[in-house]
Amino acid sequence: MSKQPRIAVIGAGLGGAAAAALLQKSGFNVDVYEQAPAFSRLGAGIHMGPNAMKVFRKIGIEQPLEAMGSHPDYWFSRAQDGSYLSRIALGAHARKEYGAAYITVHRGDLHALQIDALLPGSVHFGKQLAGLEDTGDEVRLAFTDGSTASADIIVGADGINSYVREHLLGFEAPTYNGWVGHRALIPGEALKAFDFDFESCVKWWSEDRHLMVYYTTGSREEYYFVSGVPQAEWEGGNASFIDSSQAEMYDAFKGYHPSVQALIASAQSITKWPLLNRKPLPLWSRGRMVLLGDACHPMKPHMAQGAAMAIEDGAMLARCLGETGLGDYATAFSLYEANRRERASRVQAVSNANTWLRTQEDPAWVFGYDLYGHELKTESAA
Ligand code: FAD
């Protein structure tokens, strides 16, 4: 009796969950292995542009996501004195011109929706991958809890410190790029003490730093900020984040508009994250293993598109495997790279440069992209 071919997705982050959902929808037999024992609602927001929302439409979670998210009419960019640098139309304009809504939402709420979209029993928590062997016929996996599994192909969706990437290319720590991000959630109620118009989506800029601010719920009960601030050394060692403070934020945003000072005053708990990076990888797949998202092309978060690229990757990989079937995974992997490398690299470069929407520009190449709206290319232009 022949066994049913299987796909193992390593990492149930935003990219891995998108890939797994779409592969399952196409009828593939998919198991997801996630190192975390469970997911919690960590304090962070996230933008989801129309390009990602079109993928969520395919997964079947666009409507609930729209219902939970905030729908900004504009992305405003403002100088530290409050003057406007750009007004990028979103809202109804995004739906009409880019084919889906632009939302901002709590990252944990989005992620929970994505996990719920997976087939019951297909996500295995507490499974940290620590061993991989491609035997030629299959891939064998070993986890730190002593358990093992096997699959026909492996999707490395295990983030910036990817074990799958390390297996393919050798150990190399990601580089700290000299920037930190401060993050805080602010109860909407706290903002009522101030006489400012707290806009739905605004990025405050000065020469070498910025503060991105937006609502994470449609009811405006939660406001969120994430900074980008230069800092020569990361003091947190291997920690993915450490505690910060209002004093540190006041210092970093001295001279900024009073409404920014009001945000800092209202933030009860502030965390600080190192921004990490890697050089572009020489390969996206080898043998039965393929990479996606931050495992493959991490970027500074300044364009708010890193997760969207992971989600697009997952959707494109599912589309390519759907075209070829699992038996011809090698063709699927090369189609996948041909259709992702150029776009992901361009977004990575713009994100790292931190110029996105600072001045009035046309975002159609990012937001208008429809992963399902074009023929597959067989060769990458990059
Ligand atoms: P991850 O989300 O990192 O998921 C990887 C998963 O793999 C995790 O669940 C992890 O636990 C698991 N894992 C890791 N190792 C193993 C292992 N050995 N075995 C099993 N499981 C493993 N992007 C946006 O699109 N919009 C934004 O607004 C935005 N804001 C950001 C703000 C900040 C401050 C930062 C740092 C990033 C931001 N990003 C944003 C970028 C975004 O968070 C990442 O690009 C995105 O999370 C990448 O998704 P991923 O699925 O590739 O990896």
Q: Ligand 1 centroid vs 321 CA: distance in angstroms? A: 23
Name the closest-CA residue to atom 4, ligand 1: 13
φ and ψ at residue 262, rounded to 5 degrees: -65, -35
Question: Edge-to-edge strand order for the sheet containing 271-277?
Answer: 84-89, 74-79, 201-205, 210-215, 222-230, 175-187, 271-277, 242-243
**Ligand 1 atom closest to Cα of 16?**
51
Dump the DSSP string for 52-104.
Answer: HHHHHHHHT-HHHHHHHSB--SEEEEEETTS-EEEEEE-HHHHHHHHSS--EE
Q: Is 211 in the pocket of ligand 1 (CB under 6 A)?
A: no
Beta bridge partners of 242: 272
pLDDT of residue 380: 64
* pLDDT above 60: residue 382: no
Structure tokens of 178?
Answer: 């000299």
Contact 366, 314 (CB under 8 A): no
Q: Which residues contact 309 (CB under 8 A, 6 or more apart)?
A: 293, 297, 299, 343, 344, 347, 348
At 75 the pLDDT is: 98
| Residue 196 φ then ψ, to 5° | -120, 155
Q: Provide the pLDDT for residue 3.
A: 63
Index of the ligand 1 atom closest to the CA of residue 276: 36
User: What is the pTM assigned to this prediction?
Assistant: 0.96
Backbone angles phi, psi at 72, to 5 degrees: -65, 140
What's the CA-to-centroid distance between 342 and ligand 1, angstroms?
21
| Residue whose C-alpha is closest to residue 7's, from 96, 121, 138 | 138
Q: For residue 129, is pLDDT > 50?
A: yes
At 229-277, the pLDDT tens digits run: 999 999 999 899 999 999 999 999 999 999 999 999 999 999 999 999 8
Q: Provide the pLDDT confidence category of residue 173 given band limits of 50, 70 and 90.
A: confident
**Terminal alpha carbon distance of the chain:** 44
Mean pLDDT of 346-361: 93
Specify the pairing of strand 29-33 against strand 6-10: parallel
Q: Which of 35, 124, 161 best tests ligand 1's pocket when mutated (most atoms within 8 Å of CB)?
A: 35
Atom of ligand 1 nearest to the CA of 306: 45
- Distance (angstroms) between ligand 1 centre and the Cα of 109 equals 15
- Give the position of tokens 């449609």: 218
Helix H or strand E encompassing 32: strand 29-33
Q: What is the pLDDT of residue 230?
A: 97
pLDDT at 42: 78
Identify the CATH number of the domain defined by range 6-44+119-173+278-381: 3.50.50.60
Residues of the chain with CATH 3.50.50.60: 6-44+119-173+278-381
CATH number of 175-277: 3.30.9.30
Q: Rounded to whole angstroms, how far apart are CA atoms 339 and 379?
A: 8
Distance 28 CA to ligand 1 centre (A): 24
Note the pLDDT tens digit of each residue in 8-34.
999 999 999 999 999 999 999 999 999
pLDDT band at 145 (very low <50, low <70, confident <90, very high): very high
Pocket mutation for ligand 1, best pick of 40, 105, 158, 352 (most atoms within 8 Å of C-beta): 158
Of 294, 311, 366, which is best to mutate to test ligand 1, by the most ligand atoms within 8 angstroms of its C-beta?
294
d(CA 27, CA 104): 31
pLDDT at 35 over 80: yes
Per-residue pLDDT reduced to its tens digit, 181-203: 999 999 999 999 999 999 999 99
Residue 2 confidence (pLDDT) above 60: no
Percent of the chain's residues with pLDDT above 90: 91
